[in-house]
Amino acid sequence: MLLALAIGLATPAAAQWDPPQGAADKAQAVYLYQLDTETLVYAKNEEEQRAPASLTKLMTALLLVESGQPLDTAFTIPQDLQPEFNEILANYGTRAGLLCGETVTLEDLLYGCLLPSGNDAASAIAWYLGNGDEAAFLEQMNQRAAELGCTGTHFSCPHGLDGIEQGTYSTAQDMFRIARACMENETLMEVMCSTDYWMPLTELHTQADAGAPEGKSYQIRSTVVMQNPDSPLYRDYIRGMKTGFTDEAGRCFVSGAQQGGASWLLVVMGAQDGLAEDGVNYAFHTTANLYDWALESLAPTAAVNTETPAAQLPLRWCAESDTVGLYAKDPLVVLAETGSSSLETRVETTVDSLDAPVQAGQVLGRLTALVNGETVGSTELVTLGNYERSFWLYAGDILRPWLPLLAVLGCVLLIGLALLVRMLSRRAAVRRRRKAIRVAPPRNSQPQNK
């Protein structure tokens, strides 16, 4: 049984939309996803393997918070890392200002890795979690990537300075998977949504910058300029995450966004190097183009709720009701174009009618939301209440087909009974007459003389 119901709601697109012309032209790979509706909004070269640059640090940071180590754990930067720190400096890699021999906390390393994109902090995290063996940490990185479903990703360093030839590569789709795991971690989101952080005074950082809080030495700042109110490209919907750049990778930016209670995630890789007229790089401009368009044009929309029956089925043998309502098991929310009004839902039930008793929670169908003939979501249809069987309604229904026959049999029985009574009455009358004849004296007999 298939029922098509037209509902006056916004129109969700099937799987992807086309952004305004030129919105993503400056980027080589893009992946824009609406999290609440599990909808891929727009993708470009999403499976193409590219150098991720410092987007690599998302995995490094994720492993640190997932390790379960308290973030207030003290850690002394080992002298063994000095050659790597020198190499980072020689390659003009971004740093958090760490010095070998100073003691900081894991929290300091986490902020240093994510906010200023410190390659030194990422190397220190790898040394800590790998117990001094970077190869062991890289194995953790690649194993976690596989667990997240990444099929086009491999890491050969904890910070992203390596390129594809050295064995560090990923895809926009895989970076989405890694970023989503980061977004689901409250600690990481708190760090990535911060605009700055004060590093501590240590045995090697003994001077405090002007305005430093007590016990602090110098300030590090986030490279995510879109969440800085002083930026010409500031957007209040941005929720942190990570930038990246090498000559090979181009400008990269993974960002979260939230507006009106809806959450989004966008990966931009391989954006053109250089700055726009406002002094902001093209990864940020691509991000602004896509989010500004998507957040204005699209919104999660309820296709069905769990409080209104989506279908009614006839019900027999219940005194309280002659129908059963079928309700969506879960709310069905789809991504819809704002200002549109044609959303079709289709109800398919497993039966045409029901007989009591019916129990709450029975799955009796499925509701599917479609746009332009394409499925955008579905949910099971279930009963909400219990419907008990009435004995008298059930018995009456069972006996009803037999009533004509029973009536005929009753008539036959009555006729037979009447005939039997008549026959028995006649026999009884005959017996009474015979008995009366036997006992009656002859009418003409006279007494004899003696």
Catalytic positions, written as ranges: 54, 57, 117
| C-alpha atoms less than 13 angstroms from C-alpha of 148 in its C-beta half-sphere | 25
Letter string b/e over residues 46-68, b meaning 16 or more CB atoms within 10 A of that residue's CB? beebbbbbbbbbbbbbbbbbeee
Q: What is the DSSP letter of 447?
A: P
**Dihedral pair phi/psi, residue 207, rounded to 5°:** -105, 140
Q: Give CA–CA dist 250/51, Å, rounded.
A: 8
Answer whether 216's CB lies under 8 Å from 208's CB: yes
Q: Give CA–CA dist 34/262, Å, rounded.
A: 8
Answer whether 303's CB lies under 8 Å from 9's CB: yes
Q: Give CA–CA dist 173/434, Å, rounded.
A: 114
Bridging pattern class, strands 311-316 and 354-355: parallel
Map residue 39 onto helix, strand or coil. strand
Sequence-ordered list of residues with C-beta below 8 angstroms from that of 37, at least 6 positions apart, any chain? 12, 300, 333, 334, 335, 377
User: Can you list the pairs that 83-91 forms with residues at least 24 positions away whose Cβ atoms lie under 8 Å?
Assistant: 84/120, 84/123, 85/120, 85/123, 88/119, 88/120, 88/123, 88/159, 88/161, 91/161
